[in-house]
Amino acid sequence: MTQESTPVTDTHEPLVSVQDLQIGFQTGNGFVQAVKGVSFDIFPGETVAIVGESGSGKSTTATGLMDLLPSNGRITGGTVMFNGKDLTKVSKSEMVGIRGREIGYVPQDPMSNLNPVWNVGFQVREAVLANGMAKNKKDADKRVVEVLKEAGLADAERRVKQYPHQFSGGMRQRVLIGIGLAADPKLLIADEPTSALDVTVQRVILDHLESLTREKDTALLLITHDLGLAAERASKVIVMYQGKIVESGPSLELLQNPQHPYTKRLIAAAPSLASQRLKSSRVEVAEAPQGDEIDLVAAAAHRHDVVEHADHAGTPAIEVKDLTKVFSIRRGSFRSEPFTAVDKVNFTVPRGTTMALVGESGSGKSTVAKMVLGLETATEGEIFVAGKDATVLTGKEMLEHRRRMQPVFQDPYGSLDPMQSIGSIIQEPLDVHKIGDRKSREQRVNEVIDEVALPRTVLSRYPNELSGGQRQRIAIARALALKPDVVILDEAVSALDVLVQAQILQLLADLQEELGLSYLFITHDLAVVRVVADDVAVMEKGKIVEHGSVESIFSNAQTEYTQKLLDAIPGANIPLGA
């Protein structure tokens, strides 16, 4: 492993050379090894990406390089050679000198990484002064404005006195990038720098980061869960799995010709890459996926055939007419002003099909879902479910309406009551609707747990014992218990790791085919839409700006906004072999 990743013939010295790095954490259940012998090199000016799922050890590796591990973590072996020094052995004060000046750092969540009680200028100035980038106060102030301007804050002079809460997420991330690069370090470590941002902002920030590092010839170590993003931005990709490197190499080669079964699995499951392939591979996906491997392309192609035969003529599962929601927002202390979250929205979901509602945060898509579910009252408009107007239902009719339509929410940790056993969670809808007797309810619970492919032994368990994906299966089982016609999926796969996400998408497709379900699929992720939906409506600021079949939207987007969303799918422009 060591020989393979260290080039022997080249005269260039690597900037960073990590050899057999091992990092562990002291936890309540003893010492846990999180990074188990990782080796890689980063050359000056090069961009390297580490890709992996949560728990793969990718972030631990990154923070380990500059000794930013949480207090219960420590490096247990290996070396990190940087500028002729072994960073695992340098003293604390030497490390202080290296951080910021030699190695910069851009964290993941812009909302929590700036100190709320100091103004932005102060926090940048700290970085400037600590790394000797200015001699006096005047120089420092000048440099602060420079740094912020470079990071893309146009009105930097005016904004230095402002506090973090007065900045948007994207702006804060620009400040953090500015801080990371303030002392022109030789290496910048960016740990999921855009995962917390809206997709369109993500792209802008990444472009900026890329041009800055190229300009300054800074090497970049990019940590990400998104293979498409990694391949698009980095020259070399390292795939980590359970604390080890399973595959690494030039990004294009890795993507086009993956060798390790895990890498193959990741590529097959990544929606952004799958949708990219979909165009070219429609013809040849006839070959079935092997074994238990999930291939989103195959799945998507298959469901396409099914949908062709769906009933487009009958009563639509959901029909929404001029749906409007106006909230009153507090402005200052005494006034409130109306805010239109959803503005005259119209769409139909034909029976047995999937309609995706796409938009960024604040677009109003979740409010639509809540109104359809009857969890928010509509200010105006009508919602027809199976031909009945749900906005005027009361009492018994409403109960009947709810039986037909069930939700699955985003957060698999929050959507199950932690105090109840899985069995009683799934049984709750049956109890509420007083369906059958005790025995038939138990039988139905067993049926649905089989349908979502979980063993019946989980019924006596509690939600905290299950993984995220398993919990989402339970949420789906609960939704299915009442044999609904429509399932509203509100960001139902967004919180899951790629492989798990692919599995759940597969399950949803299977269930739709078996049970003839109609889905309203709320998401911010256009890449996922491509593989699951038949129709798409794109929402922006409460309005539907574009509406059509998946194919028409993806091949021929009419509005600039939709095009922007499409462009923002990482990896969309990588030519994938075959």
CA pseudo-torsion sign 107, 268, 576, 560: negative
| Window 477-516: contact mask with other proteins (x via CB under 8 A) | -x---x----------------xx--x-------------
Distances in whole angstroms, Cα of residue 5 to Cα of each of 17, 35, 131, 249, 439: 10, 17, 33, 9, 62
Residue 27 in the binding site for other proteins (CB under 8 A) = no
- Rule CB under 8 A: choose which of 77, 97, 169, 548 binds other proteins: 97
Q: Are 430 and 441 in contact (CB under 8 A)?
A: yes
Residue 406 in the binding site for other proteins (CB under 8 A) = yes
Write out the binding residues for other proteins, residues 181-240 only, by CB under 8 A. Answer: 182-183, 235-236
The two tokens of residue 555 are 């091949």
Residue 31 in the binding site for other proteins (CB under 8 A) = no
From the list 98-106, 141-149, 201-209, 339-347, the region that binds other proteins by CB under 8 A is 98-106
**Cα–Cα nearest to 322, from 391, 406, 399:** 391
Nearer to other proteins, 486 or 566 (CB): 486
Residue 433 in the binding site for other proteins (CB under 8 A) = yes
User: HSE (CB half, 13 Å, CA atoms) of 464?
Assistant: 3
Instruction: Give the span between the Cα atoms of 528 and 546, in whole angstroms.
Output: 17
Instruction: Give the span between the Cα atoms of 83 and 65, in whole angstroms.
Output: 13
From the list 180-188, 347-355, 529-537, 563-571, the region that binds other proteins by CB under 8 A is 180-188
Q: Residue 482, Cβ neighbours under 10 Å: how many?
A: 19
From the list 144-152, 300-308, 346-354, 468-476, the region that binds other proteins by CB under 8 A is 468-476
521: Cβ contacts below 8 Å, ≥ 6 apart = 354, 355, 356, 357, 489, 492, 529, 532, 533
Residue 524 in the binding site for other proteins (CB under 8 A) = no
Nearer to other proteins, 119 or 391 (CB): 119
- Rule CB under 8 A: choose which of 26, 31, 137, 250 binds other proteins: 250
Instruction: Give the span between the Cα atoms of 233 and 221, in whole angstroms.
Output: 10
Residue 427 in the binding site for other proteins (CB under 8 A) = no
The CB-of-466 to other proteins minimum distance in angstroms stands at: 6
Q: Residue 113, Cβ neighbours under 10 Å: how many?
A: 18
Q: Where do the DSSP E strands lie in 83-235?
A: 85-86, 103-106, 187-191, 219-224
Nearer to other proteins, 321 or 461 (CB): 461
Q: Residue 322, Cβ neighbours under 10 Å: how many?
A: 12
Residue 56 in the binding site for other proteins (CB under 8 A) = no
Write out the binding residues for other proteins, residues 113-142 only, by CB under 8 A. Answer: 113-119, 126-127, 130-131
Q: Where do the DSSP E strands lie in 461-517?
A: 486-490
Nearer to other proteins, 246 or 532 (CB): 246
Nearer to other proteins, 112 or 211 (CB): 112
Nearer to other proteins, 304 or 403 (CB): 403
Q: 156-172 as b/e, with b when 16 or more CB fall inside 10 Å? A: beebbeeebeebebbbb
From the list 99-107, 198-206, 210-218, 305-313, the region that binds other proteins by CB under 8 A is 99-107
Q: At what angle do helices 169-181 and 199-216 cross, to 10 degrees?
A: 20
Residue 380 in the binding site for other proteins (CB under 8 A) = no
- Rule CB under 8 A: choose which of 286, 457, 575, 578 binds other proteins: 457
Write out the binding residues for other proteins, residues 264-303 only, by CB under 8 A. Answer: 265, 292
Residue 12 in the binding site for other proteins (CB under 8 A) = yes
The CB-of-394 to other proteins minimum distance in angstroms stands at: 13
Instruction: Specify the pairing of strand 219-224 against strand 187-191.
Output: parallel
Count residues near other proteins (CB under 8 A).
112
Write out the binding residues for other proteins, residues 67-86 only, by CB under 8 A. Answer: 68, 70
- Rule CB under 8 A: choose which of 25, 33, 43, 545 binds other proteins: 43
- Rule CB under 8 A: choose which of 338, 418, 516, 577 binds other proteins: 418
Phi, psi of 55, rounded to the nearest 5 degrees: 85, 5
Nearer to other proteins, 131 or 202 (CB): 131
Nearer to other proteins, 271 or 429 (CB): 429
The two tokens of residue 307 are 């949908």
CA pseudo-torsion sign 470, 473, 478, 481: negative
Residue 436 in the binding site for other proteins (CB under 8 A) = no
| First CA to last CA distance, the chain | 30
Question: How many residues in total does the chain contain?
Answer: 578
- Rule CB under 8 A: choose which of 198, 201, 218, 262 binds other proteins: 262
**Cα–Cα nearest to 181, from 155, 207, 210:** 210
From the list 205-213, 270-278, 332-340, 519-527, the region that binds other proteins by CB under 8 A is 332-340
Residue 179 in the binding site for other proteins (CB under 8 A) = yes
- Rule CB under 8 A: choose which of 333, 439, 514, 560 binds other proteins: 333
Which residues sit opposite 546 in a β-bridge?
Answer: 538
